[in-house]
Structure 1
Amino acid sequence: MAEFSAPFDGSPIATQSQWSRMARRWGLDGVHADDPGATALKVTGNGTGNVSLAIGEAFVNGFYYKNDATKSIPITANTGSATRIDTVVLRASMSTKTVRAYYRTGGTSAPTLAADENGDYEMPLAQCTVAAGSSVVTATNVADRRWFTDRGAVPSVPGGRRPSLKGQLLVEGTNLYVGDGAGWQWLASQGVADGTYIPQWSAGTTNFHWGTLATNIGRYQVHGRRVDLTIHVVPTANPPAYTDPIQVALPPGFPADPSLRGLFKWSYTSTGSQGSGLGIGMIQPDVSATKIASLRYAIPTGSSASTTHSLTTNTPWDIQTGSILTIDGTYWTA
């Protein structure tokens, strides 16, 4: 197979096929419009024997098309006994060397679009429903089927944003914004779609584990500086009876913001007759920014008061094989 590259002096783009192949790499086929609500190349019906094509511009199979005045396109009469579904298309034709709008008749379903990149290639603009024995299309019988081409995301620096364009994406640092025509609205920030790790457990300065074959998994997602975290444990061994509070490490590389105290909910279910419980987990920055420092639960002390205590490996439950401990919540990173 011969190699080809262009355009260079002495190696130009010499054929329309070469141009089409090159131009298709620049962007997607579609109508140029700020948003789908724009009227660019929109097809409308008014109950006559024609549909109207609005002014606008498009790319079709790598070729440029412009309609600079409202164009009437004749409807093919439906002489059959069933409702017919037709399509208005833009057709790029290698043989006629043009891009033009055409009305294509279908049947009980819309016609199949031509998709020969080296022959005829069609892009839909509208779908028209024509009643049996009719040759007219009303406004309600036209469904918009335009493809739109994108402008891509544009980079920006803080304080130097361009005016907002509706539907335009803008990247500033690790943040993504979308324009609404009046301003730039935050859309997303760099993060981690889905991550897992093996949590490290401790009691005071002593690390411990829940058994060699225990289920011990942490799953997290990062959205900008916010981390969603779930930790799930099913022990296969009874750890020693430590008196210090149970602590568990946060995902590596995502320490907590030391100016905030993150809170989690936790639940415990015993396999024995010890029952179950609920409580709150806390990230205490003065203790550690890389751990949930304690899992707290409340014990009533009277008719309207209670005291809170830290969960340990043996209080108020003797955590053992088959029990389930789940921690779930959100915190902010530094």
Structure 2
Amino acid sequence: MLPCELLERNGDSLKQYVLKHSRDWDLPKPFMEWVDRDNLFLNSLVDRIVTGFPANESDTLFAEWGYKDTLLNTAEPYHLWAIEGDPCIDQRLPLQQSGLNVRWVKDLTPYQMRKVRILNGSHTLLAPLGILSGLEEVKQAIDHPEFNQFLSNAIEKEIIPSLPFDQNEMMQYGESVLERFKNPFVHHLLADISLNSISKFKARLLPTLEEYHEANGTLPDCIVRGFSGLIRFYRVNEMKGSYIGKSFAGKDYIVKDDIKAIEFFQEQWLRYDKGEVPLRQLIEATLSNQYLWGKDLSDIPNLGNEICQYLEGMID
């Protein structure tokens, strides 16, 4: 069993759910013993940017081919599938032997952490700020001198130094990520990346912020700027069942996330706009909201002050 969801220990989780449903459905005990004893649920990690159906190009491609393929998908050439399991399994399931970039590894942790922190973390850092600045795709951000430098600094000076792995290897991976972002044929929409940004920030960027601060006694400037942009991104109003924000230039965008998280930000920004609370109180309420972050972030020294400084330059 090889689940590909971007979840830590996804094979272990799948096995737990299979056994749980087996118990819930009163399936025979020998069946559950067989599941547990004779089946392998392997933790795995897929590293590939896949952007979905190429809507803007499909008609041209279909005309060229002479047929329609409604399952058409777009993916970059780069691919890596790391599977936590005995390499001898490749004799039974010859993925590696077939020439695919599949690695059978003893410990998936380094592959998981580097992808989540560097590649996925970069996406999550970029999306709210990019949308607020009027950008639509990752490629546009990479082509933008300011955003390119911002992302490079975040990866090289903040994210990678916070990872407990060989720094040269992490730098090589970081450089490859930036190169992959430049692919002109992969139209990766920032709006798609921004889906559920709160939980993504919590999993992908908050650990870097905390570990950087613990190691250096200071805060990672790029991550803090991204955090500020995230809070500004959730300055929304409800319109016809959707939650709409406005970019720095006044362009509408849609925010999709856990409804409780969105409503929290909507309420905080509404109180601020009415003059009921100052910006600093809005920030403190956000940082102390354990529903969002799983902990109280207001205890991190100077975090509220630095976010406040950035946010003051992002609001009307």
TM-score of the alignment, normalized to the shorter chain, above 0.5: no
Instruction: Report 1 or 2 for greater relative contact order, CA contacts < 8 Å, sequence distance ≥ 6.
Output: 2
Normalising by structure 2, we get a TM-score of 0.17
Normalising by structure 1, we get a TM-score of 0.17
Higher percent of residues as strand:
1
